Amino acid sequence: MTDLLLRDVRVENAPDPTDVRIEAGRIEETGPGLTAPDGTEVFDGEGRVLLPGLVETHLHPDKALLDAIRPNPTGTLDGAIRVTGELKRQFTHDSVRARAEQVLAMCVRNGTTTVRAHPDVDPIAGLTGLEVMLELRAAWADLVSIQIVAFPQEGIFKAPDTHTLLRKSLDAGADVVGGCTYAERDLADCKRHVELVLDLAVEYGVPADMHCDFSDDASDPRFALAGFIAEQTAARGLGGRVALGHVTSLGALPPAERRAVAADLAQAGVAIVPLPATDLFLGGRGDEQAVRRAITPVRDLWDAGVLMACSNNNIRNAFTPYGTGDLLDTALLLARLAHLSGPADLHRVLRLVTHDAALVAGLLDYGVHVGARADLVIVDTRDYDAVLLERPVRTAVIKAGRIVARSTYSSELTVPVRALEA
């Protein structure tokens, strides 16, 4: 493996540029004026900001890019599940693989070095999505690390045989057990769903990552399970190994109630992952005036000490008909939706797709320090505060010490400003 020396880069918000030397896929040394052994590739960052690689904790590559085939007829969550269920019947290994690879390429070009993928595992698609992702986890290993979540989109009790399919997925090498806690007929089954997923997490020694409480409000108790999940997580000693996507209904609870749930989540070590592109698109559909933003209460969760990430979820399908796979875009969307602004907030939002996302995904040796795995991205700005606001071009994406993607962009004014006479 060729080693790499990055010259003249600004490590996150460090005031001065430095050099970073990478050997055997890890950061070996940082500091100004480093020398490198013969044969080391040298990349001049020209003072640009160096970030740790972006971490996508929640993505559905198997269902991406379906919007061109058939869009969501109603714009609702039910409509999205229905139309995607119909399209899934036509899935073939090759068609899923082609779309998934297109999306992975988007992610890598945008600086993402780890993707937690949630392929559907259900009686409709069977194990097709899972098998494709197992194949891509190996095929794409030099470009991006892939974690695979076995995701029961259609429910477990409502969709017979799904329990067996989840076990087969974990036996085949899925890294995480997924859940879709609202996809059951009644509250009792939703709770059994949660318990079964967490029991599988214990049995297989894997983390759990569930879709949860994805509704405008908590009036239907199937969409108000975060507190129950916190309790069940604590009871099984799974703290730090459970993540929940969406959790939008929490934002509709009265302040004291939602802060109590947030405190329970923090105490239990349950992480929350807002999926703002989807949450915003599918949320508030029944509102005829003062349409809700339908986003989890980020500030309250932060204040309570809940670990969070932010992720893309779906790219151009019935759940989210937009997206380029750029986590900086999606993080900025969350900032807009959750009234987050100013350098302190925006630095924290950036952590939702870097350091905090890495904790959610359980990544070891993450970051830009000696000994860290060299998963990095150089962005085309010299100003750390501008990273989220400008979402600069990803000049170079580095996976395990090797440059795996490069981008350039140029723009200039072509007419001079007039010189006025004094």
Which residue's CB comes closest to Zn ion? 313
Q: In whole angstroms, give the CA distance from residue 307 to residue 316.
A: 28
Closer to Zn ion by Cβ: residue 72 or 313: 313
CB of 292 to Zn ion, least distance (A): 20
Farthest-apart Cα atoms in the chain, separation: 83
CB of 319 to Zn ion, least distance (A): 7
CB of 375 to Zn ion, least distance (A): 23
For 252-307, the DSSP string reads: GS-HHHHHHHHHHHHHHTEEEE--HHHHHHHTTTT-SSS-------HHHHHHHT--
Closer to Zn ion by Cβ: residue 48 or 222: 222
What is the CA 315 to chain-centroid distance, rounded? 12
CB of 315 to Zn ion, least distance (A): 11
CB of 35 to Zn ion, least distance (A): 47
Closer to Zn ion by Cβ: residue 209 or 375: 209
CB of 311 to Zn ion, least distance (A): 8
Tokens 């580095």, residue? Answer: 398
Closer to Zn ion by Cβ: residue 232 or 313: 313
Q: In whole angstroms, give the CA distance from residue 301 to residue 260.
A: 10
Order across the sheet with 26-31: list the strands.
26-31, 18-23, 4-11, 41-52, 376-379, 394-399, 402-406
Strand 145-150, strand 18-23: pairing: unpaired
Binding site for Zn ion (CB under 5 A): 313
Query: How many residues appear in the chain?
Result: 422
Closer to Zn ion by Cβ: residue 275 or 396: 275
Closer to Zn ion by Cβ: residue 211 or 373: 211
**H helix and E strand count, the chain:** 13, 14
